[in-house]
Amino acid sequence: MIFGLFRFDWTILIVLPALFVSIWAQFKVSNTYKKYSAYPTKRRMSGAAAARQILDQNGLHHVQIEHIRGHLNDHYDPRANVIRLSDAVHDSQSPAAIGVAAHEAGHAVQHAKGYVPIKLRSAIIPITRVGSVLSIPLFFIGLIVVSDYLMLAGILLYATVSLFQLVTLPVEFNASARAMKVLSTSGMLTEDEQQAARKVLTAAALTYVAALLTSLLTLLRLLVLAGGNSRRR
């Protein structure tokens, strides 16, 4: 059994499409952001100023905006009520930066309004963290020692990762929709600049689709491995 594990595992082919999609999605978001961050908007508003305006319009004066190091690692922290904007977004006056900043402000609005998918995502984060760390080791230990219980535990834990990625899609799409709605009605961006911001957010959404595909195909691979192991006994 142990020696068999060192033979070529054809099930790795199951996840290869997700790998290619992930690489393409990262390439797409990087190139799109680079293209639309190369020039300032007509109003020359920074990403931080755009986020602040959206927050204030929604009565979220208590939500702070912080400048952090990094590139496109922007996020909203609901525990601290802080939007953290990266070097590429905080002070940039490009339509790309404003689109990203508006998207993060959209997450803050989601939390404030009790948007159900984001509440669900927050609720499953603790078990998802456990699943992302322990699921694969548990499964392969179970595969080696021929324990159906360990393999099943690994599969169930990894299923929480897939659930998290599934719930993440409507959360991210909705945040982008909120961002584009306010950008189209507030006068922060011209029509051409709105199109640029939309293309950046659409490219970013592809990375979440790729993450979901990766998790689903990985889950399928675990199920195939478990099924094959049962048939060999």
Active site residues: 104
**Long-range contacts at 224-227 (CB < 8 A, ≥ 24 apart):** 224/11, 224/14, 225/9, 225/11, 225/139, 225/143, 226/139, 226/143, 226/148, 226/151, 226/152, 226/155
- Contacts of residue 8, defined as CB under 8 A and 6 or more positions apart, other chains included, come to none
Q: Residue 53 is inside which H or E element, if any?
A: helix 47-57
Quote the crossing angle between the two packed helices 95-113 and 47-57, to the nearest 10°. 30
Amino acid at 14: I
CA distance 187 to 211: 34
* Secondary structure, 3-state, 113-149: HCCHHHHHHHHHHHHHHHHHHHHHHHHHHHHHHCCHH
Task: Provide the pairing of β-strand 82-85 with 75-77.
Answer: antiparallel
